[in-house]
Amino acid sequence: MSKRSIRILTALVLYAVAAVPINCMWLSNPGIEGYDRAAYLEMVHGTAHRPYVMRALVPAVIRTISNALKPVIEPEIGPKFAETLTSFAKKNSKPLYDVVKRWKWSPGFYTEYLVGMIVCYLFLIGFAFALRWLVLEIYDTSHWVVLFLPFFALAALPMMFRYFSYVYDFANLMFFTLGLIMLARRNMTAFYAVYIIGLFNKETMVLLALVYWLQMRKDDDKTARRLHLAGMAVAFIVIRMIISAAFADNPGVKFEVHFFKHNILYLWTEQYEYFRIVAFSLLGLGIFYKWKEKPLFLRHALAVVVPLLFLTFWMGFLDEFRDYYEAYSAGFLLIADSFCRVLDIPLTPKN
């Protein structure tokens, strides 16, 4: 077995083990059943409220696999799994039992829950490998740094869990990171494949167009740049039209406005504790330390925070940190870059 194969296998084992508790935490706290407009089973069956049901890719995957496996799993395997896991956790691990209790699996739908748990787990591992690839694309460093940076990115994810979890979250992390990789490699054929699939998962994939524009705005070939931006815009509009037509009869609206219901109250009444001020200050310091010496591509990729903040200010919860997943990979690597500089760990930008 080659060194490369051994390193990939080692990464697979490490990320697969690390992803288990992260996936369990995500399923239980805040959980996938917390918001009635985007309840898990309704998302999977395509009956949830808009705009959530319009993030259709992962629910469609789960639904397709579940329909094929339900005759096998539902009669005995699903109930036995739930009963055995609950019994084991109750006898051996109170923390695990507390996690399992929060899952709130509905009898008769064990297949959907089991398949969904596995699919989201695989997307989480896929995100770790995508981030590993992004590190290899942007930095020259040791294989140990390449191995452990995605591990620490997984370990940090629970800090983003607040209010609700959605079935498309980990796929969003993976597809957006893959899109960044293809832009960094300037492989536009592969980029469009990732971009189009990702748009069926979540509409914010369109923010990759901003990264592309920042990366290519000084390129001499203005015609190619304009054609690619137009292509991204057309793909976004066409896919939104297809999804809108598919779920036109669902309850809800295309955009929920939370500016008055949550964000104004949050900004007006929130008590900014000392810990939170220190945490955000350290986050900013980690990102902007020796800013101009850090990879230009990551600095461009972090620019998606600006439209994300604007969109979240009007249509999301400012303090629901999963709304910023599109900036997670770039932000994490910029902070990791700072740590490596301080600790004198070799992490050299390729350009």
pLDDT for 78 equals: 65
- Evaluate whether 52 touches 38 at the Cβ level (below 8 Å): yes
Q: What's the mean pLDDT when you consider all of the chain? A: 83
Higher pLDDT, 94 or 201: 201
Nearest to 168 by CA among 312, 323, 14: 323
What pLDDT is attached to residue 271? 53
pLDDT of residue 180: 95
Query: What's the pLDDT tens digit per position in 321-332?
Result: 778 889 999 999
Mean pLDDT of 178-195: 94
pLDDT digits (tens, 9 = 90+) for 98-124: 666 666 666 677 788 888 888 989 999
**Three-state secondary structure call for residue 25:** helix
Residues of the chain above pLDDT 70, percent: 80
| Residue 347 backbone dihedrals phi, psi, to 5 degrees | -150, 85
> Looking at per-residue confidence, does 260 or 180 come out higher?
180
Quick one: pLDDT at residue 318?
A: 63
pLDDT tens digits, 69-106 = 878 776 666 667 777 767 776 676 666 666 666 666 66
Q: What is the pLDDT of residue 238?
A: 94
Average pLDDT of span 125-139:
94
Q: Measuring CA to CA, which residue among 160, 156, 196 is closest to residue 178? A: 196
- The arithmetic mean of pLDDT across residues 141-169, rounded, is 86
Per the structure block, which two tokens stand in for 142?
């040791």
Q: Which amino acid, 68?
A: A
Which segment of 44-53, 144-153, 334-343 scores lowest on mean pLDDT? 44-53
Which residue in this structure is represented by tokens 């629970």?
Answer: 158
More confident residue, 285 or 76: 285
Rounded mean pLDDT of 25-51? 78
pLDDT at 220 over 90: no
Q: Residue 103: its pLDDT value, please?
A: 63
Q: 176 pLDDT exceeds 80?
A: yes
Query: What pLDDT is recorded for position 112?
Result: 82
Backbone angles phi, psi at 300, to 5 degrees: -65, -40
Coil, strand or helix at 140: strand
Q: CA 351, CA 332: separation in Å to the nearest integer?
A: 19
* Burial (CB count within 10 angstroms: exposed 0-12, middle 13-18, buried 19+), residue 288: middle
pLDDT of 100 reads 66
Type of residue numbered 305: V
At 140, give phi and psi (nearest 5°): -100, 120
The reported pLDDT for the residue numbered 23 is 83
- Residue 235 confidence (pLDDT): 94
pLDDT tier, 247 (very low <50, low <70, confident <90, very high otherwise): confident
pLDDT score at 274: 60
Residue 35 has pLDDT above 80, yes or no: no
291-316 per-position pLDDT tens digit: 888 999 999 999 999 998 888 776 66
Is residue 144 over pLDDT 70? yes
What percent of the chain is predicted at pLDDT more than 90? 34
Token pair for 249:
């009869």
**Sign, Cα dihedral of 181, 187, 190, 192:** positive
Ramachandran region, residue 31 (left: φ > 0; alpha: ψ -120 to 50; beta: rest): left
